[in-house]
């Protein structure tokens, strides 16, 4: 029962739609009404307000990191093991992509997944962030950066956490979901229609 309560809390925290909240604070259009219609930092950048995009990025990544940090801190006192922590980590990610506050719709989950990965293992998470940044700097395509990071992060997790750990499994599941959530972007990449960062389109 305790674990179920913590999973629910993690899911609800993940469901907080920072893109929507930030757009209201800055009096911007709802991110679900323009660009890719994705409530995430990349789409918020299309509003022309970089501060709103940065705050969205920090909020989405921060909630993933926060849940894992809190889970690691409080889980032992409640008799919960590393497997329980991994489940809570997955719950916050699922909350973002299927937010109860957005009628079970949400963002693609890149920033939240990065926050979760950093929380589960600092080095694997930082390598994931570096991968995103390097690919973005070279090709200036957000979705391509996300896809490359999604494919490589399970490898980083395997190196630092081992293959048969719940945390590695969670990172692998998140990676599969990230690729699936980017299926329309993959089609655009193949056809050469994917927009670059800061330009209109559907990354």
Q: What is the DSSP string of 110-178?
A: HHHHHHHHHHH-HHHHHHHHHHHHHHHHHH--HHHHHHHHHHHHHHHHHHHH-TTSHHHHHHHHHHHHH
For the chain, how big is the Rg over CA atoms in Å?
16
Model's pTM, two decimal places? Answer: 0.95
For 21-41, what is each residue's pLDDT tens digit?
A: 999 999 999 999 998 899 999
Q: What is the pLDDT of residue 199?
A: 62
Reported as a single tens digit per residue, the pLDDT across 34-71 is 988 999 999 999 888 999 999 999 999 999 999 999 99
With contact defined as beta carbons under 8 Å apart, do 148 and 179 qualify? no
Strand partners, 105: 99
Question: Which pLDDT value is given to residue 195?
Answer: 86
């Amino acid at each position: 029962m305790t674990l179920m309560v913590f999973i629910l809390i993690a899911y609800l925290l993940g469901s907080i739609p920072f893109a929507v909240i930030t757009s209201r604070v800055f009096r911007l259009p709802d991110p679900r009404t323009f660009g890719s219609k994705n409530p995430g930092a990349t789409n918020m950048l299309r509003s022309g307000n970089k501060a709103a995009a940065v705050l969205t990025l920090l909020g989405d990544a921060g909630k993933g990191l926060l849940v894992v940090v809190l889970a690691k801190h409080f889980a032992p006192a409640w008799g919960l093991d590393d497997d329980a922590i991994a489940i809570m980590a997955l719950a916050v990610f699922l909350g973002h992509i299927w937010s109860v506050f957005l009628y079970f719709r949400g963002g693609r989950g890149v920033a939240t997944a990065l926050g979760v990965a950093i929380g589960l293992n600092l080095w694997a998470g930082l390598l994931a962030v570096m991968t995103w940044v390097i690919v973005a700097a070279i090709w200036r395509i957000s979705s391509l950066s996300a896809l490359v990071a999604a494919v490589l992060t399970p490898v980083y997790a395997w190196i630092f956490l081992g293959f048969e750990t719940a945390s590695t499994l969670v990172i692998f599941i998140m990676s599969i979901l990230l690729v699936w959530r980017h299926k329309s972007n993959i089609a655009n990449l193949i056809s050469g229609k994917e927009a670059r960062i800061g330009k209109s389109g559907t990354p």
